[in-house]
A and B are shown apart, each in its own frame.
Chain A
Amino acid sequence: MSDSKRQAREYDDIPGTTVFDADMARKGYHVNQFAMSLMKAENRERFLADEEAYLDEWPVTAEQRQSIMDRDFNRLISLGGNIYYIAKIFSTDRQSFQYAAAEMTGLTQDEYRAMMIGGGRSPIGNMYKEESE
């Protein structure tokens, strides 16, 4: 399904957020199923040994494939990846949710951790796109 056919949703105006609805799930189906495969230790080993070869087994788009190789999580999410599936990829890299979150927000891990200890990202200015811009 092309994006142009997607209906407008009430959550489209939340800044910095992609809601994983059925449209996104369809778009990201193969990405997410690939990520799921990394829950088996032998698959993790095979993937880490030769990412290109492993990804050849999955019918992901060229753009999705590149985003996986680049560990570009924001882009992967825009292409239908869901964070709980993507977690299998960064867990395979022995990285935490906090590492991935820092990546996606453009902060270093130390900066991100400090932000969280300071109470997290404030709701003020972060609930509507218009006020966050």
Chain B
Amino acid sequence: MAKVTGGITTSHVPAIGAAIDHGKTGEDYWKPLFKGFEYVKEWAKKTKPDVVILVFNDHATAFDQNFVPTFALGCADEYQPADEGWGPRQVPVVKGHPELAAHIAQSVIQDDFDLTVVNKMDVDHGLTVPMSLVFDQSEDWPCQVVPLAVNVILYPPPSGKRCFNLGKALRNAIDSYPEDLNVQVWGTGGMSHQLQGPRAGFINSEFDNDFLDKFVDDPEALADMPHIKYLREAGAEGIELVMWMVMRGAMDKEVDLKHRFYHVPASNTAVGHLVMENKVDKQA
């Protein structure tokens, strides 16, 4: 059977991708950030996921204003890195897992989450920057990916609670997939940041660290956080953090926290990063 063994959360700032692509990771500005991701690179080599369910948001790339799906599940064979205005990042094509994705659609939609099924979708920095952070640049990505795109651009995005419960439904789906697969769930985006208007540059490390604490130990309570609190206290774009709740819902209630990292800034953004494992899997 397929099993959710672990997961990570990470910010997905485009400038991090640019720093990797242009060989700037050793510069003083970037060094402390990339140091915070050394652990996860080793962890990923050791844990070798077959499939990553990658929760991210499309930044007006695959979806324009004509259609804005709240939850969009990628069911394709592969996903091309998108041209976001600079030309596409020179990273490998993302290989999908259409069979697992189809199973998730069957299970999760009948579990009352009305996913939009997507068969063609270019993927932007929201998906490829986390891949680069964890796997470095390589010829081919070492695992398959099921992308789950969450709308966090057109307000209102789904609630933290909805995302948390979607994670639980996702977990049920994965647990009932017959093939032996080592599955990780990654939640991306955040932490506090605001990219627009006179308040751009807003960072709230107190909010972020409190979020990191509760995310690990008391996610049920965290899931109740209303949107206005994200907007006001984590910055207009900090509301991306609801996507982390999908990942947390897919993990066990009690987890082993393997790594925690927080850093300000990456360009305009506070970077938060967690690595966790499900406890039960170690005994199995």
Tally of contact residues, A, Cβ under 8 A: 54
* Proximity bits, A115-131, B CB within 8 Å = 1, else 0: 11101111100111000
Given contacts A88-B84, A123-B204, contact A33 B64 (CB under 8 A): yes
Q: How far is the CA of A36 from the CA of B18 in the complex (A)?
A: 21
CB-CB under 8 A from B165, the residues of chain A are none
The residue from B15, B87, B155, B206 contacting A19, defined by CB atoms under 8 A apart: B155
Query: Which chain A residues border B109 with CB–CB below 8 Å?
Result: none
Q: How far is the CA of A101 from the CA of B198 in the complex (A)?
A: 8
Which residues on the B side are within 8 Å of A62 (C-beta)?
A: none
Interface status of B202 (Cβ within 8 A of chain A): yes
Write 29 A-B pairs (CB below 8 A) sorted by A numbering: A17-B197, A17-B236, A18-B236, A19-B231, A20-B155, A21-B154, A21-B156, A22-B155, A33-B64, A36-B60, A39-B85, A74-B197, A77-B196, A83-B237, A84-B60, A88-B84, A96-B18, A96-B267, A97-B195, A104-B196, A104-B197, A104-B198, A112-B201, A117-B265, A120-B192, A120-B203, A121-B201, A123-B202, A128-B232
Name the B residues within 8 Å of A14 (CB-CB).
Answer: 199, 231-232, 236
Which residue of A97, A116, A120 has the most chain B CB atoms within 10 A of its CB atom? A120
For B236, give its contact among A19, A25, A106, A123 (CB under 8 Å).
Answer: A19
Other A-B pairs, 5, CB within 8 Å; known A40-B83, A128-B232: A18-B196, A21-B156, A33-B66, A84-B60, A112-B201
Complex A-B, nearest 3 residue pairs according to Cβ-Cβ distance, in ascending order: A120-B203, A91-B85, A16-B199
Q: Which residue of A lies closest to B226 (CB)?
A: A10
Q: Are B267 and A87 in contact (CB under 8 A)?
A: no
Interface residue? B9 (CB, 8 A): no
Interface residues of B in 185-230 (CB under 8 A from A): 192, 194-207, 228
Q: How far is the CA of A117 from the CA of B266 in the complex (A)?
A: 9
Write the residues of chain B forming the contact surface with A, with a CB cutoff of 8 angstroms: 14-15, 18, 29, 59-61, 64-66, 82-87, 153-156, 192, 194-207, 228, 231-233, 236-237, 264-265, 267-268, 270
- B264 touching A120, Cβ below 8 Å: yes
Residues of A near B83 (CB, < 8 A) are 39-41
A32 to chain B, nearest CB (A): 5
Q: Provide the bound-state CA to CA distance between A15 and B232, in Å.
A: 9
Interface membership of chain A positions 69-94, coded 1 if the CB is closer than 8 angstroms to chain B and 0 otherwise: 00001100100001111011001101
Contact of B207 among A36, A39, A123 (CB under 8 A): A123
List the A side residues contacting B270 at CB < 8 Å. 120
CA distance in complex: A34, B121 (Å): 20
User: How many angstroms between the C-alpha atoms of A87 and B201 in the bound complex?
Assistant: 16
Is the pair B153, A82 in contact by a Cβ cutoff of 8 Å? yes
Please pick, from A32, A41, A77, A96, the residue contacting B15 in the complex, using a CB distance under 8 A: A96
Question: How far apart are the CA atoms of A96 and B195 in the complex, in Å?
Answer: 11
Closest to B234 in A: A123
> Does B199 lie within 8 Å of A25, measured CB to CB?
no
Residues on B with beta carbons closer than 8 Å to the beta carbon of A83: 195-196, 237
Contact B64 A97 (CB under 8 A): no
Report whether B203 and A121 are in contact in the complex, using a CB–CB cutoff of 8 Å.
yes
In the complex, the answer to whether B197 meets A39 with C-beta atoms within 8 Å is no
A61 interface hit (Cβ, 8 Å): no
Task: Give chain B nearest CB distance to A65 CB in angstroms.
Answer: 18
Q: Is the pair A121, B199 in contact by a Cβ cutoff of 8 Å?
A: yes
